[in-house]
Amino acid sequence: MPPAGGTEPAPTNPRIWSKYSAGLAPAEKQRVLDRYWWPHRRKVESRVRQQVARGSGVFHVAVHSFVPVLGGERRNAEICFLYDPTRPAEKAMCLRWVAILREMDPEVRVRRNYPYRGIADGLPTWLRRRYPNGKYGGAELEINQSVLTGRTRSRTSRLIAQSLDALLAGSERTV
């Protein structure tokens, strides 16, 4: 059931289902949405609403992973940022984060608006429709699953955490 204030097209997007869950019966898919997908969206949206009501701007980072190979094509990045390039605060925040990552590790393969477009169907896109520029900004941090195993997982986790600390230390925490 969508939250009040508008319909949500994303649950009908076939790309939200993995190869493991895509074949579930409709009733089982609905149970997954009701148990995991909607509660997460509602909680994030509630926190954004609270901050905006206090007069604060919000910069929200959604974190995802992506498969190293899709449709036979190897994806040539380890860390990616998806954002709306027409929103100056989102673009500036992501450009700074990319620069920090590259300074910390010149070998890391970082890309922007890859492997998806930053305005494609996702939670930040959904929230952009509900909150004005200047009150809400969002980005999606996408991490290649190939760097989320073994020693590379620790290296990647440390790099992201340290770069986020550096980003926040040099940024106003508003949009």
Give 110-131 pLDDT, tens digit per residue: 999 999 888 888 899 999 999 9
Residue of higher predicted confidence among 7 and 59: 59
Interval 54-69 mean pLDDT: 93
Q: Indicate whether 141 belongs to any domain.
A: yes
- Give the pLDDT of residue 172: 54
Check whether 1 has a pLDDT greater than 60. no
Distance CA 22, CA 57 (A): 36
Q: Indicate whether 22 belongs to any domain.
A: no
pTM of the predicted structure, to 2 decimals: 0.85
Q: Indicate whether 147 belongs to any domain.
A: yes
Give 12-49 pLDDT, tens digit per residue: 777 778 888 889 999 999 999 999 999 999 999 999 99
Q: Is the peptide bond before 68 cis (omega within 30 degrees of 0)?
A: no
- Give the pLDDT of residue 92: 95
- Give the pLDDT of residue 12: 74
Domains held by the chain: number:
1
For residue 125, the domain's CATH number is 3.40.630.40
Q: Indicate whether 78 belongs to any domain.
A: yes
8 Å CB contact between 78 and 109: yes
Q: Indicate whether 76 belongs to any domain.
A: yes
Interval 148-173 mean pLDDT: 89
Interval 92-113 mean pLDDT: 96
- Give the pLDDT of residue 14: 75
- Give the pLDDT of residue 2: 37
Task: Tell which residue, 6, 147, 8, 168, has the closest CA to residue 96.
Answer: 168
Residue of higher predicted confidence among 9 and 138: 138
Task: Tell which residue, 7, 16, 33, 10, has the closest CA to residue 125.
Answer: 10
Interval 129-143 mean pLDDT: 93
Check whether 50 has a pLDDT greater than 70. yes
Instruction: Give percent above pLDDT 70 in the chain.
Output: 91
Q: Print the domain residue range for 97.
A: 57-169
Q: Indicate whether 25 belongs to any domain.
A: no
Check whether 79 has a pLDDT greater than 90. yes
